[in-house]
Structure 1
């Protein structure tokens, strides 16, 4: 696969991202109880894929475009997970002192530094996990992030 190509890591990251698209959210008026579905609140930020490879991370939009303005966040993510190869689906947010996302702060780069709320693990260490059950991927993501520090945050399932 692409993970073993002898390309510049920055180019490799972009090529790898073309194979992944974040799962679209379905809007619902109220919480529900259905064993075939999970309920997650929409975070007020930018949906992103964190592509981590060769000690580097890049944040890409759901359309595959790099979030160049969040390069410091990407660097912090790679520092938090130095020996990991993974594609993580999540959201770039800026949270206030209470932990509540504040989109205006993110948009205008005010307040606390941005963080990355991770809610799905698409690949890990060369294994494509997309055919695994979502709750199993989330459990693996929680294990992966247990050794990470800020700015990575695990998004809890409701």
Structure 2
């Protein structure tokens, strides 16, 4: 593990400045057509929501989009994270989701601010207590993330993303059966890198996922400034367009 130097872009003492936000670039998984099995890989659900990094400094949390923009519409979620981790200093990668009564993500609920309050499914730990963890093995970072969340009570909106060890094909079949978005494959020993060409992560989409129907049309209307009833685009437009990936 390496301690962040004062000049490091991830120095948490200045994590809320405009210049440092540009350094918070989430890992970008490459696309893969088919699932696979491999004992050196883990497999997670691909949650359907807004990708975000939560930057926590001395218990104060801020949620940033994939392009470093603050998620003003999820300020209440950020405040909840702050309340549940009052002594934490960390940068955590995850996905903002709204779950239905069956525990399935409902993407449009985020756009239209309906349904259950949003939660944050977290799956990677970039820094913690002044330590830069990005060069550490994925499996070690996930263990660190689990330890960090052990400080939080069960009703915390931060939800640890569980994984399946080695068996991507069975998980993907289950995802398709349940009409979920897909899975993410990650090499156990991989570092945290932002560039897709160097990524040790793969996203494998469920091509029959029903919630993708009509989504591109919705975003196209927003690009052309056409009104979408009920969508608070003034707050979510930027983040929503970033979500098409």
Q: TM-score, normalising length from structure 1?
A: 0.88
What's 1:148 paired with? 152
What's 2:37 paired with? 33
Equivalent position to 2:118, from 114, 117, 123: 114
Question: 2:26 matched to 1:22?
Answer: yes
Which piece of structure 1 moves more, 124-133 or 17-26?
Answer: 17-26
The 8 Å contact of residues 17 and 51 in structure 1, kept in 2 or not, is answered as no
Separation in 1, partners of 2:122, 2:64? 13
Equivalent position to 1:3, from 2, 9, 12: 12
Which whole-Å deviations, capped at 9, do the CAs of 1:29-63 have from their partners, x for residues lacking one?
A: 44321244322221100000000013211000010
Question: 2:138 matched to 1:134?
Answer: yes
Q: CA RMSD in A?
A: 1.7
Larger Rg: 2
SS of residue in 2 equivalent to 1:51: strand
What's 1:100 paired with? 104
The 8 Å contact of residues 145 and 154 in structure 1, kept in 2 or not, is answered as yes
Shift of 1:15: 4.2
The 8 Å contact of residues 122 and 161 in structure 2, kept in 1 or not, is answered as yes
Separation in 2, partners of 1:21, 1:63? 7
Task: Give 1:42-57 correspondences, 5 Å limit.
Answer: 42-57=46-61
User: How many residues get paired?
Assistant: 153
Q: TM-score, normalising length from structure 2?
A: 0.58
Separation in 2, partners of 1:144, 1:55? 12
Shift of 1:16: 3.9
Which whole-Å deviations, capped at 9, do the CAs of 1:62-116 have from their partners, x for residues lacking one?
A: 1000001100000101111110100000000000112111101111111100000
What's 1:157 paired with? 163
Structure having greater relative contact order (Cα 8 Å, sep ≥ 6): 2
